[in-house]
Structure 1
């Protein structure tokens, strides 16, 4: 590529030399990077753009750090979570990470905001440089003007450097434009100006807005579906929990009913035997029945007494433990 450029330059020089042999070939060069460094408006806009890019970068780094922290937290809590919860949280983390990467592509991608704004920033300055070079070439009758930043120049004499002239030309043009702008603003106060409509730019902006709206709509739809699925899972878990509680309460009630029925089986047996023996009208059997009823009643009273004794024993043990604790506290306080 470099050899082709040098060959074309050599060919152009030879042709120009043959055509303008009487007066000689005038060649000059400019340094675009040097020119840009000495244009205050470009430097100020570049600083603002770099500040904005750093702000985007810090925002993206903070979000990625938060995602990494969520991954660490999930890794530490995996032993305490079910597989469904682990899968759900991993899906949430992946979704958030994709959103951040899409945002990063939107800001720093090949067609992102940074590239577009750099292009918008460079285009007016490049147009001014090109216009100044064209005007200087026509006025000073230069045959060739090269760009040092884009051409391989093994040696270049300072006397052929036209960068300072281009800077002065752009500065004068900027001052003249500012003066004209002030005059236009004063004139626009008395009349309404009709803005120039750039249909191509409007169409491109409209297409970008539509794509942005579609992307946001898809993201919102996916997020809503995720929230609905999560709410359904929560509802299902709550219903299952309520059902388990109802079954436990039912089983507990059945145990209580069974315990009540087992407390008086012997009393029912006594009543049944008594009703049968009264029909026989035999005195010895009546006395035997009464004796059996007394035994049943004594057995029941014995059980009640044992229960009361156990209860009393538990109360005494509890009281003794409390007294020992109080004594220990008092001894610690006395010390």
Structure 2
């Protein structure tokens, strides 16, 4: 769980959804909260340092995976050797090979856990490699939010939004703050804004027709007779 604060800006980086909603509710009760959102996934995808960090981590994981495959090959060969020669070996020879096989299996399992189990080498390497990158991203978010006067920044990559006005998408501005070229993404955002404006204008031009409410008759007053409209079967057939 990580909450970053700078000035009057609140950025919830990994707070559970319920906690984010409570913080958002508290801000809205003041009546002055200004909320924006980002896509951290889009930022990482376009931020070169994030891509380099991902490549470094993938390279480490690939090295460990190759080691596991080599150990698995040794185990397979020894299993095949035992299967072929178990009937011609002495009991002592067979026990030695089976002991060696068990040792290799345990060694491979221990290596796998050390590398890929929760809290293992992979998690430690990911934290060390991504920490400076994440710090730069969140610092850029803070700078943009403060400059634009936002009180709350929501990360839609962690918790998707049912609807969000693209005008309040700060992803492009954060990427610019990080020195990333954003012409393509900026054009896409502008198209989304214009499309939303067109939809609003088209929706506002068609006012729904409303029926006038019926007046209830006063006590003792006869209700007005309703005009009877013949059904399709009762209508006269034109000649």
Structure 1 position 141 matched with structure 2 position 167: no
1:166, CA displacement in angstroms? 1.0
Structure 1 position 90 matched with structure 2 position 98: yes
Which of 56, 72, 75 does residue 67 from structure 1 map onto? Answer: 75
Highest RCO, 1 vs 2 (Cα 8 Å, sep ≥ 6): 2
Question: 1:10 and 1:112, CA in 2 relative to 1: closer, same or farther beyond 3 A?
Answer: closer
Secondary structure in structure 1 of the residue aligned to 2:68: helix
Question: 1:111 and 1:9, CA in 2 relative to 1: closer, same or farther beyond 3 A?
Answer: closer
Q: Contact 1:2 / 1:152 at 8 angstroms: preserved in 2?
A: no
* Residues 55-134 of structure 1: pairs in structure 2 closer than 5 A: 55-134=63-142
Structure 1 position 15 matched with structure 2 position 23: no
Question: 1:103 and 1:6, CA in 2 relative to 1: closer, same or farther beyond 3 A?
Answer: closer
1:85-126, Cα deviation, whole Å (9 max, x unpaired): 111110011112212222222222222222111111221122
Q: Which aligned runs of 4 or more in structure 1 are off by greater than 4 angstroms?
A: none
Which of 18, 33, 41 does residue 4 from structure 1 map onto? Answer: 18
Question: In the alignment, what sits opposite 1:45?
Answer: 53
Structure holding more strand per residue: 2
Question: In the alignment, what sits opposite 1:157?
Answer: 165
Tell me the distance in 2 between the aligned counterparts of 1:49 and 1:94: 31
Q: Contact 1:29 / 1:147 at 8 angstroms: preserved in 2?
A: yes
1:13, CA displacement in angstroms? 4.2
Secondary structure in structure 1 of the residue aligned to 2:150: coil
Question: 1:167 and 1:30, CA in 2 relative to 1: closer, same or farther beyond 3 A?
Answer: same
Which is greater in Rg? Answer: 1
Question: 1:118 and 1:6, CA in 2 relative to 1: closer, same or farther beyond 3 A?
Answer: closer
Tell me the distance in 2 between the aligned counterparts of 1:6 and 1:43: 28
> Please, what is the CA RMSD of the aligned residues?
2.2
Tell me the distance in 2 between the aligned counterparts of 1:14 and 1:157: 17
Structure holding more helix per residue: 1
Q: Contact 1:132 / 1:166 at 8 angstroms: preserved in 2?
A: yes
Aligned residue pairs, count: 166
Structure 1 position 36 matched with structure 2 position 50: no
